[in-house]
Amino acid sequence: MRCFRRNVFRCVKKSPGSFLGTVFIIAIGIFVYVSMMDTLRNLGDQVSRYYQSSEMADVFATVAGIPQAELKRLTDIPGIEGVSGKMAADVRFLAPSQKEIVTVHLLSYDPSDSLNQLRLNGEKPEKDSLFLGRRMSEIYGYDDGTSFTLLADGKRITCQMAGTCSAPDYIYAIPPGGAMIPDGEIYDIACIDKNRMEELTGKRDSLNELGFRLEKGYSYEDVRYQLTERLQRFGLVSITSRDKQASYDMVNGELKELYAMGTALPFLFLSISIFMLYVVLKKMIDRDQGLIGTMKAFGMSDRELILSYVFLGAEVGILGSLLGSILAVPFSQTMFGMYIDFFNLPDTVSRIYWNTRLNGLGIAAGTGVLSVLLGVRGILQITPAQAMRAKTPSAGTLIALPSFLAKRLKTMEKMGFRSVVRNPFRGFLIILAVSFPFSMTSVLLSFEGVANQMYFDQFDKVQTYDIQISTDRFISDLKARSAVETIRGVKKSETVVNMAVELKHENLTEFAMVYGLNPGSDMWRIMDLYGTFYEPPDDGIILNTRVAEKLHLKAGDIAEIRVPRITPEPVKVPVKAVIGESLGSGCYMSKEGFYHFFPSVPFTDTILFTVEDGMGSEVRDQLMKTSRVAWLVDTSRIVKSYKNMMGSMLAMTGMFALMSVTAGGILIYNISMINIRERITEFGTLMIMGATDREIGRILFFEQGIYFIAGVLLGLPGSTGIKILLEKLVISDSYTIDLTINSISYLKAFLTCGVMAGISLLAQTRYVKKIRLTDILKERE
């Protein structure tokens, strides 16, 4: 048995390319698995530890303001074990040499907070201490002791930098104004002493961001209705469970995507390696049939024979795992650094998880063993008597060429066609080898279109204004527009309504943002995933699909809507349409419709305007001089941030596409070469009969052309399947993608696979040229 096992490993030397190719494909799968899982573990463990150490709340609520004593009384609601609250507000942040309007989400710091505890890094907190979010602190490099000014509602206070801070409910701090990624240059969290917060806001004992801990055995739904009812009189703005809290939801969504991608992509690559190793081993068994029969005649059992090949499969898997694990180290650290740029975590150290590598080793070894078990089952059917005689050639199927082809094809092309028909299984293997890289590459290269759909179209077709500002208080529409249009460089302006509301349907409740837009406006329009535009209705509301599905609403239904501090009782509003959008979960009506359903004096705190060419910097400078602007959104800046983020994502998907191409190239090359090695007798006979290298090349070219076209055609439905899979993997409550595989992506995939097929064809023709006519006496097909 030991001698036979050594012979099995010696057989590898006869086709090293096939086995090295399998090792490399397994290495790709393990590389993706280990890098994704390391990033997931680093982020997930740090986030989980932070949530636990900071006592992350189970339920979150935002109100206009509630006294501490009234908040504590809410613990008498069955199921609520603990409560905690903070004062919070978006305020202007003035720093030395500042060139942008910077906003911070300011939180009050109280050491006695029992939930959502702030973590401070730096000096001991004092009355005038300010702790700034890590991202903004690192971007600007402020030193301890730097003096800052905070502006809110016409008041200002001065504080000194004392260190950095982080909050469990603001790990992912999204700036106002529609952006979906953090931008530490213009927005981050900060915290100051609670007494100083009261001085700045002019409010005493008025907490507005609340957290609740639930008793064991209770869920959010158990306390939701009673808690909502009790908070109504304090101006309830929103209430949600932990898993729907904005930061938690974004972080959890990113972790789920990492897990999904870290399992789906390796599965695809490892499936290819199983397929390839299966083919190689099956051909090896066919070639060594005589030796196997002899070994059986000498008393070796099927179990012993198969075990010899199992060791080979395990070795291939282990080598692939070691190579992939080594290559994954720098990539996982790079990925972790990308996420840390967006996550405000106190611990930012990337660690190596050895159990991830051990899991990868087990998966790779299992992949190799499974390939063996599938590929060498033919051993069970081999008998010593059968092995002594040549394998009976399979009966070919005679298929007549269609008359229009028979007249146009020459002799060599007809021979190529008959070869394809004569061995359909061999051809099917090559077709699969072409279809995989075509499908994967066409889908992965389409992610650039997703970036345009999700982000750039948002500010090119939907929100087409140049600047959006929010004032620190509500003012009349007329006053808002008059004030903006006096600014030199402003071309056109309009106001919109931007309100948090509570929507109800039957026994379901959801909090969302309602935008009151201007009909006919070209600054902010409503567009669905498929590019269809809608006018904001005067007599109803347009709902985002994510909101509508949660409330079980459809077009024609009636939604009940309550606007905090405006409508004490819900107002019935018809649902005019339900649309899917790339970003956000907004709901829309016209401004006039908003004032019709929710009677009030026309007011706003959000102003949009376009700027004359070349006047952007001057307009921003003029806005910086006013203390009434709470925050500013520059769409060009958001697009730039998106481009930076999408550049990293597209580089990653491009790398995965390159891996797919490489794996496909290895697959096409090796299976094609196995095909050629099996046909030495056929080509040698043709050469004896006088066929030239050029004529044999025509046969191979015609065969390869048929296989390539069939592989591309099979890859079309394959790309649709992979597209649907990836859409399901990256879907989120914050965004939806419609992954459209455009013609450019198909063309790139077609050309890429064509190059791989061409290289394979070149290798086949070179191999045929090296055939010695004496070899055909030793070969049998």
760 compared with 381, residue with greater pLDDT: 760
More confident residue, 567 or 715: 715
Pseudo-torsion of CA 97, 98, 99, 105, nearest 10°?
Answer: 170
pLDDT of residue 419: 77
Mean pLDDT of 63-78: 91
Q: Are strands 571-579 and 541-544 parallel, antiparallel or unpaired?
A: parallel
Digit-coded pLDDT (tens) for 475-505: 777 777 777 778 888 888 888 888 888 888 8
Q: What is the pLDDT of residues 166-183, one digit of tens each?
A: 899 888 887 766 566 667
* 661 and 724 assigned to the same domain: yes
Per the domain annotation, does 614 fall within a domain? no
User: What pLDDT sits at residue 341?
Assistant: 76
Query: With 80 as the cut, is the pLDDT of residue 519 above it?
Result: yes
Cα separation, 412 vs 624, whole angstroms: 78
Handedness of CA 150, 156, 158, 159 (dihedral sign): negative
- The answer to whether residue 616 sits within a structural domain is no
pLDDT band at 135 (very low <50, low <70, confident <90, very high): confident
Residue at token pair 């064991």: 216
pLDDT at 192 (0 to 100): 92
User: What is the residue-averaged pLDDT of the chain?
Assistant: 81
Residue 575 and residue 558 in contact, taking contact as beta carbons nearer than 8 Å = yes
Entry pTM: 0.75
Is residue 321 in some structural domain?
A: yes
628 located within any domain: no
User: Percent of the chain, pLDDT > 90?
Assistant: 13
Residue 313, phi then psi, degrees to nearest 5: -60, -40
Rg from Cα positions in the chain? 33
Contact status, residue 623 vs residue 632, Cβ threshold 8 Å? yes
Q: State the Cα–Cα distance between residues 110 and 737, nearest whole angstrom.
A: 42
pLDDT of residue 378: 62
The pLDDT-based confidence of 451 (bands split at 50, 70, 90) is low
CA quadruple 733, 737, 738, 739: dihedral sign: negative
Q: Are residues 45 and 32 in the same domain?
A: yes
Total number of domains constituting the chain: 4
In a domain, residue 286? The reply is yes
Q: Identity (one letter) of the amino acid at 28?
A: I
Residue range of the domain that includes 490: 477-602
Q: Is 162 helix (H, G, I), strand (E, B) or coil?
A: strand
Residue 619 lies in a domain: no
Does residue 768 share a domain with residue 642?
A: yes
The end-to-end CA distance of the chain, in Å, is 28
Of the residues 148, 175, 202, which one is the last residue of a structural domain?
202
- Residue 577's CATH number: 2.40.70
> What does the pLDDT look like over 354-405, one tens digit per residue?
888 898 888 888 887 887 777 666 666 666 665 555 555 555 555 666 666 6
**376, 484: one domain:** no
Question: Which range, of 93-97, 224-228, 649-653, averages the lowest pLDDT?
Answer: 649-653
Burial label, 701 (beta-carbon count in 10 A; 0-12, 13-18, 19+): middle
Provide the pLDDT confidence category of residue 97 given band limits of 50, 70 and 90.
Answer: confident
Token digits for 680?
């030495």
| Residue 47: count of CB within 10 angstroms of its CB | 21
H/E segment holding residue 636: helix 635-677
Confidence of residue 643 (pLDDT cuts 50, 70, 90): low
Q: What is the pLDDT of residues 136-159, one digit of tens each?
A: 888 888 888 889 988 887 788 899
SS3 at position 654? helix
Both tokens assigned to 359: 């899991």
Flag whether 471 is in a domain: no
Same domain, yes or no, for 341 and 433?
no
Which of 366, 392, 418 is at the close of a domain?
Answer: 392
The pLDDT of residue 488 is 85
Q: Which of the four pLDDT bands, split at 50, 70 and 90, describes residue 781?
A: very low
Residue 382 has a pLDDT of 64
649 lies in the same domain as 597: no
294-340 tens-digit pLDDT: 776 767 777 777 777 777 778 888 888 898 888 888 888 888 887 77
Q: Is the pLDDT of residue 454 over 70?
A: no
Domain C-terminal end among 370, 392, 414: 392
244 and 359 assigned to the same domain: yes
Judge contact between 251 and 243, C-beta under 8 A. Answer: no
Residue 751 belongs to some domain of the structure: yes
Largest CA distance in the chain: 102
pLDDT > 70: percent of the chain: 84
Q: Are residues 433 and 452 in the same domain?
A: yes
Q: 296 and 418: one domain?
A: no
695 and 761 fall within a common domain? yes
Residue 536 has pLDDT above 90, yes or no: yes
Amino acid at 77: I
Residues 255, 133 share a domain: no
pLDDT digits (tens, 9 = 90+) for 185-215: 788 899 999 888 988 888 888 999 999 999 9
Same domain, 711 and 736: yes
